[in-house]
Amino acid sequence: MNLLLLLAGVRVWSGTPVDWITRVFLAVSLLSFEMQLATWTGLATLWTLVPLNAVLAAALFVWHGRQPETAGDVLGVLRPAWLPLAVLMLAVVTLNVATPLGTADPYHLQRAERIGLVGTLAYDPLVHPKSNVLGWLYELLLADVAATPVLGGSMLRLHGAVGLVFFTLTIGAVMHLLGHSSRLGWCLLLTVPAVFHQFVLVKNDLFGAMPALVVLAWLVTRVSVAPPTEIAWAMWLTGIAFGMKVSSFPLVLVAGAGIAVAHSTDGKRIGAAAVGGLVGVMAGGLLFTFVENGRMYGSSIEPIRELGNRTTTVAEASTSVVRYLVSLFDLGTLTRRWWPGRGGWGATYGLPFVWAMGVLFYARRQPDVRRTLWLAAAYGLAFAAAYPDADVAHRLVLAPGLLVIAVAAVAAQRESSVPGWMQPAGLAVAALSGIQVARSIFLYWVRA
């Protein structure tokens, strides 16, 4: 209920496509800070914050109404997407309604139920540390939605439909930053196999990838000309992504490096980046988690390190990188056979990524394409070097893969160096990937 009020207060529907996703995470950040203060002071709970947020939302609504709005071509951005969006939304709503509420990891709903029960972010001393120390921002949103009077249960059940709406806003922001809303890009991004499962199972990977994807697109197009306030904005989103899910650490590396390279002698911009990043990390909950880890377990870091799922030697890291590189093109068939016995669930980027790399090869002389390839390579390789399951779980590293597909879709339509046959090939790839998603829909239905 709190999030709905705050979203209305910031007029999430207005402005440019980049404003949409900015206002979503502004509302999320406000709720995050409120709940952290409520937990530490004991002066409020998830339910008693509702009247406060009703007043705050009204004030924000009036204030935003008085500010000059930048016109956003909503119809222009979404017009190429209406058909694939409608088909996917129908499938997601059907599965959300007709199948039991499922989770990829039980701790998501356990943490959400704990927040809903006590009304704060306080740790539960009776559960496995994983249910306490792996972040709580996404679970806070689940608990807040579930607490909505009358409609809470239904809204939680439709988590996938809500996730698809947020993902649509994210793609719109990326298209806006890239300067072109590509129908081909929409079709490809909406049929990436690793993304589809996020609409069916309760999982925070896609939600955490949304700000990361926007920041990566910004690094491709805007970092060299951005003023200090815009740099602070980008690092705020970076901090949220990292604070919510520590596995997003490569985003901090590439965003920090990109800003440092572009503005190494500009103290004002570097300072804005530091402040924005700190605010984002706090909004994402990482500092809160470190403090509470120390209070509950005697160490800020050890409870997270003890959960494992990290490479520990250079040999392990090198093998993981090789597996990840193979998995980008093997469609999930080879690495599982050659290196069995690893964890992880989900799927790969699939055919859309393979097609995209072909397009970027032809357009490799373009500066934005080169930046995209460097960013995706640095992000992916850093992640794979640390996480041994990178090859079987592209869901953990969605942002760079989606960036490659989005940039390739625009390049295929803009760059003369890309052969004309690549566009119809892209549509064929989207159709084949859509069939793969349809197969997943059928299997979810049958197994339910």
The pLDDT tens digits of the residues spanning 405-433 come to 999 999 999 999 999 999 999 999 999 99
Q: Which long-range contacts (CB under 8 A, 24 or more apart) does 123-132 make?
A: 123/292, 123/296, 125/296, 129/297, 129/303, 129/306, 129/307, 130/307, 131/107, 132/292, 132/293, 132/296, 132/303
Q: What is the pLDDT of residue 14?
A: 84
pLDDT digits (tens, 9 = 90+) for 75-133: 667 778 888 899 999 999 999 999 988 888 888 888 999 999 999 999 988 888 888 88
Residue 409: count of CB within 10 angstroms of its CB = 28
Report phi then psi at 103, rounded to 5.
Answer: -125, 145
Report the greatest alpha carbon distance in the chain.
63
From the list 377, 397, 376, the residue with the least C-alpha distance to 387 is 397
Per-residue pLDDT of the chain (448 residues; tens, 9 = 90+): 899 999 999 998 888 889 999 999 999 999 999 999 999 999 999 999 999 999 999 999 998 777 776 655 666 677 788 888 999 999 999 999 999 888 888 888 889 999 999 999 999 888 888 888 888 999 999 999 999 888 888 899 999 999 999 999 999 999 999 988 888 999 999 999 999 989 998 989 999 999 999 999 999 999 999 999 999 999 999 999 999 999 999 999 999 999 999 998 999 999 999 999 999 999 999 999 999 999 999 888 888 777 777 888 999 999 999 999 999 999 888 888 898 877 767 789 999 999 999 999 999 999 999 999 999 999 999 999 999 989 988 999 999 999 999 999 999 999 999 999 999 999 999 999 999 999 999 998 888 7
Report how far residue 110's alpha carbon sits from residue 114's, in angstroms, rounded to the nearest whole number.
Answer: 6
Q: What is the pLDDT of residue 126?
A: 86
Q: What is the pLDDT of residue 79?
A: 79
Displacement of CA 225 from its chain's centroid (Å): 25
Report how far residue 73's alpha carbon sits from residue 64's, in angstroms, rounded to the nearest whole number.
Answer: 19
Residues 391 and 381 sit within 8 Å (Cβ to Cβ):
no
Q: Kindly list the distances between the CA atom of residue 207 and the CA atoms of 19, 62, 153, 263, in Å, as whole numbers in the listed order.
A: 17, 29, 20, 30
| Structural tokens at position 152 | 């809470």
The ranges assigned to domains in the chain are: 2-68+91-447
Helices (H), 285-421: 286-297, 302-305, 314-330, 334-338, 351-362, 367-386, 398-414
Q: What is the pLDDT of residue 268?
A: 96
Displacement of CA 421 from its chain's centroid (Å): 32
State if pTM tops 0.85.
yes
Residues 39 and 124 sit within 8 Å (Cβ to Cβ):
no
Which amino acid is located at 406 in the chain?
A
Measure the N-to-C terminal CA separation of the chain; round to a whole number of Å.
30
Which amino acid is located at 447 in the chain?
R
